[in-house]
């Protein structure tokens, strides 16, 4: 199994990386961790003329925090994010999801941002990005731009990224919970084997008032139920309307049904995905609630 013959550059500046992409007439692929691209190359499902390796770009391996967000640079390894105190403190949902992403050896190399950009609809990190209203930071020959991740995703493995553009980082929403509220998270998935892509995955982040146990803010999502991760707005509203959070779990799970329209594939039928989506969401809700 050998990839097609391609050339390779490892630029040391963003300008040089963009110039390499611009000079390749759409025939270049950006490589960071390569844990999705490598298999695609080896199986010749992608046949680029040029690989542009972003691993030497200065500052791309940084994780930064502000009051409203945490920014993950394009070459931050999944394993480093998993071990990051900052991620555990500010992005607990990402921290919950990371151990489900492949295996330790693929996380040693694979990047958080690469997973967002690869846009596999059953992958865990894109689900987290959708739940946290992440913003994708894009550099290109026409200048820098930003895209909310919900707009960035355009269906199975398809994104709003031009061939001459490059994602430099992703900002995950991390605003502090309201006064008196505590933030809890839960993540659950069904996969055939540990480390596989999920068949269906569920992510939950709740800001809960300590005294009343009312849900002040809910972020719920499912992956593996269509071409991109799905936010469950009606379920979120049901949780926030409940007298206390747990009493509304059944309503929230019921409201998820009409929000999804899964497709069947080699791994699972549409009916199976629909059947397990509700129980997985319920499991993620219980995991979150148990942390109160």
Partner 1 sequence: MSARHTVTVTFNGREHRASVPARRSLADFLRDDLQLTGTHLGCEHGMCGACTVLLDGAAVRSCILYAVQVDGAQVTTVEGLSPDGTTLSPLQDAFVACHGLQCGFCTPGMLIAATELLRENAAPSEDEIRTALGGNLCRCTGYQQIVESVQLAARGADAR
- Which 78-97 residues touch partner 1, going by CB under 8 A? 79
Least distance in Å: CB of 29 to partner 1? 12
For partner 1, which residue of 12, 89, 103, 210 counts as binding (CB under 8 A)?
A: 103
Q: Does the footprint of partner 1 cover residue 157 (CB under 8 A)?
A: no
The minimum distance between CB 41 and partner 1, in angstroms, equals 8
CA–CA gap between residue 38 and residue 51 (Å, rounded): 11
End-to-end CA distance of the chain: 50
User: Is residue 44 close enough to count as binding partner 1 by CB under 8 A?
Assistant: no
Least spacing, CB of residue 214 vs partner 1, in Å? 37
Cα distance between residue 231 and residue 236, in whole Å: 9
Residue 65 β-bridge partners = 70
Q: 179 or 193, CB closer to partner 1?
A: 193
The shares of helix, strand and coil residues in the chain, as percent rounded to the nearest 5, are 35, 25, 40
State which residue, 21 or 260, has the beta carbon closest to partner 1: 21
Question: Which residue stretch of 89-97, 101-109, 200-208, 282-290 sits at the interface with partner 1 (rule: CB under 8 A)?
Answer: 101-109
Out of 16, 19, 46, 55, the only residue in the binding site for partner 1 (CB under 8 A) is: 55
d(CA 163, CA 125): 22
Q: Which of residues 185-224 bind partner 1 (CB under 8 A)?
A: 194-195
Which strands make up the sheet holding 230-231, listed edge to edge?
181-190, 200-209, 215-223, 230-231
Under 8 Å between Cβ of 195 and 189: no
Q: Give the strand order in the sheet containing 166-173.
A: 63-65, 69-73, 166-173, 135-139, 145-148
Q: Given the complex with partner 1, which of 6 and 156 has the nearer CB atom?
A: 6
Residue 101 in the binding site for partner 1 (CB under 8 A): no
Q: Where do contacts with partner 1 occur on this chain (CB under 8 A)?
A: 1-8, 10, 31, 34-35, 38-39, 41-43, 49, 51, 53, 55, 79, 102-106, 108-109, 194-195
């Amino acid at each position: 199994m050998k990839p097609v013959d391609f050339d390779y550059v490892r630029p040391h500046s963003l300008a040089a990386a963009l110039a390499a992409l611009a000079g390749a007439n759409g025939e270049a692929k950006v490589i960071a961790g390569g844990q999705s691209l490598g298999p695609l190359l080896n199986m010749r499902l992608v046949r680029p003329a040029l690989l542009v390796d972003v691993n030497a770009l200065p500052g791309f391996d940084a994780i930064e925090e502000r009051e409203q967000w945490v920014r993950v640079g394009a070459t931050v390894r999944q394993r480093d994010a998993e071990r990051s105190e900052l991620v555990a403190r500010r992005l607990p949902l990402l921290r919950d999801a990371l151990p489900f992403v492949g295996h330790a050896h693929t996380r040693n190399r694979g990047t958080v941002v690469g997973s967002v950009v690869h846009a596999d609809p059953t992958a865990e990190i894109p689900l987290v990005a959708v739940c946290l209203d992440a913003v994708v930071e894009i550099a290109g020959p026409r200048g820098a731009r930003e895209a909310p991740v919900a707009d960035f995703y355009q269906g199975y493995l398809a994104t709003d990224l031009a061939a001459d553009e490059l994602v430099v980082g992703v900002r995950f929403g991390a605003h502090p919970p309201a006064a008196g509220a505590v933030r809890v998270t839960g993540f659950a998935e069904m996969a055939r084997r540990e480390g596989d892509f999920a068949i269906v995955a569920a992510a939950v982040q709740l800001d809960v008032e300590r005294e009343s146990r009312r849900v002040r803010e809910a972020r719920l999502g499912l992956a593996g139920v269509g071409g991109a991760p799905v936010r469950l707005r009606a379920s979120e509203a049901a949780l926030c309307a409940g007298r206390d959070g747990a009493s509304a779990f059944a309503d929230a799970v019921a409201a998820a049904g009409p929000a999804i329209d899964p497709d069947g594939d080699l791994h699972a039928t549409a009916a199976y995905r629909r059947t397990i989506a509700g129980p997985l969401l319920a499991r993620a809700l219980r995991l979150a609630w148990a942390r109160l």
